[in-house]
Chains A and B, each alone.
Chain A
């Protein structure tokens, strides 16, 4: 009888005992005391995994990628994925597999070859868990990056013909591209004459950021809109002087100043009016 089938037979004899030992070990090492996975849920996952493993072994499967383990891999991938999203550490996630090794050790002592075949297989599944966990984390990060780059580049209409673009964070080449496209499209859509680019939220203005700003300004100009840069803090102003960067455009310390200038340019003004009582006040 092949080793895997011996292993399947041994597991079948003591399946219930293995599951309870497995659950006990996971409660010790797997960080499951925090209640993120209920013990009933975990029991179902363990029973499912063990029966799929036994079935695959009985069919003679020796490697993780064996077609007999297709369903098992799906289960494991889904499990790693949900643990990654729930905030389990990689160790806690992989403990699911490695605790099983320990739980089955006594049972498999009866047959060294079967024990070896299974150990190798479980190591493979352990690595598979890591990979699935990693991939799930990367998906989360990629999604967050996309959200951040969309969130942080809004174009705001302040007045007829006046747009504001509040920039926040690091202005790398990729984000500049998004910002520029967004701004140019809004200049067309809203028929804007003036775009105020506010850099209050940009922590460092180095020559690359300056170059990106210059390109954005030049592109806006070609679309018929003038730019005003606002939010230049004193320390940024001093640094830009030392760098020797000239933005060749009107700059203002605050967005309010830039807005006041923009209104004058489009021939509007804001005056003081008598306060209007609020309804109910």
Chain B
């Protein structure tokens, strides 16, 4: 998918920048405070996953206008080791790192639409959408 704006995620400062940009865009789209907080938090989780587990990656931010609805779509992509068992990765409390194991499942619950495509050795792409 093309369009939208691409941002690099190479350091934890980039994670902060992604959060700030997502917040600014959600505000501009007129998201309520709760919806803003949800998408910002989901973005924070996925950006950090791309950084910590994918060895860095990118996020593409796309503003959606569908009839009367507006939304924000975020596509996180990395070229890391990929996820062998997606079901397991989404289960709360499961982590291969040192985190709480809640980020991926949490991001899914914080979004209206969630898609995860991953193949071992080929990287991971997570797309989330939050509608106003």
Seen from chain A, the residues whose Cβ lies within 8 Å of a Cβ on chain B are: 170, 172, 203-208, 210-211, 214, 234-236, 238-239, 242-245
Contacts and interface: CB of A to CB of B under 8 A. Distances in A.
Interface string B109-132: 110000000000000000000000
Contacts of B41: 204-206, 239, 243
B53 to A, nearest CB: 13
Chain B interface, >50% SS class: helix
Contacts, number: 65
Closest 8 CB pairs of A and B: A243-B106, A235-B37, A206-B44, A242-B109, A235-B34, A207-B103, A207-B102, A207-B100
Given A172-B12, A245-B100, A207 B37 contact: no
Interface residues of B, number: 23
Nearest to B47: A206
A245 B110 CA distance: 13
6 contacts: A204-B40, A205-B41, A208-B99, A243-B41, A243-B45, A244-B106
A274 to B, nearest CB: 42
Nearest to A242: B109
Chain A interface, >50% SS class: helix
A211 B100 contact: yes
Contacts of A208: 44, 48, 99
A243 B12 contact: no
Nearest to A174: B12
Given A207-B99, A242-B110, A245-B100, 16 more contacts: A203-B23, A203-B40, A204-B41, A207-B45, A208-B48, A211-B100, A214-B100, A235-B34, A235-B37, A238-B34, A238-B38, A239-B37, A242-B109, A244-B105, A245-B102, A245-B106
